[in-house]
Structure 1
Amino acid sequence: MPQQNRRAVVTGASSGIGAATVRRLRAHGWPVVAVARREDRLRALAEETGATFFVADLTVQADVDALAVHLAETGGVSTLVNNAGGAVGLDTVEHGSIADWQWMFEINVIAVKRVITALLPLLRASVSGVPTGEGVADILTVSSIAGHIAYEKGGGYNAAKFAVAAMMDVLRLELSGEPIRVLEIAPGMVHTDEFSLVRFRGDQAAADAVYAGVPNPLTADDVAETIVTMVELAPHISLDLVVIKPVAQSAAYKVHRGPLEVKQ
């Protein structure tokens, strides 16, 4: 169960890992504000789980500012889950689209920075005056193993997620001495409805091929369960970086397809 007076905000909550995290947090008794662009999906998620929601495009500063005002007026926030992000294209550095790279940096890097800047005062307020060891605020960012291991044709996404990982490392240093955990979870292969479909611009066959023959790729709920574990640990424990992959995936670029069998 969450510590008293905790409230979570989850971005990118309309699908995939974000929606699964909202469901998991609500199942554990957390008050949750789900944030995304698609109001219809947020409304359905809120009706299903009892979460509240706020419609925002995190690449628009006015939307992020409005989110901060809304949270301040409705109870604040103690835990921020930066989940919004994505990949588009699978091209070489030489031939990759500048527009694709710009989009990936906007949603994976700049949007995360916008939200952190806007919500840090509220996160600080949630633990102001709380005795040491009795409370903590969290900034948890969903990055990717692509932010720690490079792979061919992943240049734009690699660059964006490496930037996110660096941002979390810097932020952790800058918040040293404050009761605020800076946490990063870096998922490997996660089979969701939209990630690969967006990356391959709606090509369902190409998206399905990513997971073909892979025994038990991660699900969104696997990642969500781990996120909830990270933020529910005792206030003095910080899992700075958690890399989570299916057993069949040894690295970002090495995935076993077919049954897992003991070598003779």
Structure 2
Amino acid sequence: MVKKLLSALFLLGTFMAAAQNLHTQSNAASIENESDATTGWTGLGVITSDNTEAQTGNFAIRVESTANNGRTLQYTFNATVGVDYTIQIWAKQGPQVTNNNDPAFANWSGFSGFSTTTINNTDWVEYVFNVTATATNPIIRVYTSPYQFRFTAGNTVIIDSVSITADGSDTENPSAVSDLSSSNTTDTTTDLSWSASTDNVGVTNYEVFQDGVSIANTGTTTNFNVTGLSPSTGYNFTVFAEDAAGNTSAVSNTETVNTLADSQAPSAIADLSSSNTTETTTDLSW
């Protein structure tokens, strides 16, 4: 019995270790080990730690193009050939000197299932790649600009909150939402909001339930406007957090909403008319 228990604990420990984020270095884009550094990331662009544009925490990694074809930022990790990986990277455009520039995730090597993806937003966006390793040291690459602008300095990309996990290895549930609340309730609507859940890799979706029935998936947005409610009625709302591996949090606190009474009178009819009138009948319409 003791041997079985020890074996079970050993396997559990091994499995949990495998579930760790493979973006292991302590740097500005790390989820678990953030620091004011760029350790592990290399390339031909000017790579720095940025403390003004963080998506989470205090720092992000910034890459800026040079005038001599320095436009790349890259990262490699130890992979197992044939294993599927989920790679999640938050990214945004920084300052640009080239009009209509198209920075992108491009030219990844050692993977199948990857396709070039443009970074076309100046706000933070989470990019999720589901790929299969074809080499033991695959390479993730970010380009500040396409080939035709390779001699243009000053185009920038900023990345943060990088996670790399082998599919099936992440078994940790996100934390439960504990502060679901409502506001601006009317006779037919209410606004729900909550604080972000935490996860060892990253939350990818929140699912909203009304009286036990799913009504919305909000992605990473932590608020939702509920419509179509009935006046003078009570409703119970809850939220679950989910990560990319399909792990789901425990249920949130229950927020009970009582809609207001319907106090708005119908509009007055303004076009009442009659037709086909006889000595004893008439047809009314409006």
Give the TM-score category using the shorter length.
under 0.3
Query: Structure 1 length normalisation: TM-score?
Result: 0.28
Larger Cα Rg: Structure 1 or Structure 2? 2
The alignment's TM-score, normalised by the length of structure 2, stands at 0.26
Say which structure is richer in helix. 1
Whichever structure has more strand as a proportion of its residues is 2
Bigger RCO (CA 8 Å, 6+ sep): 1
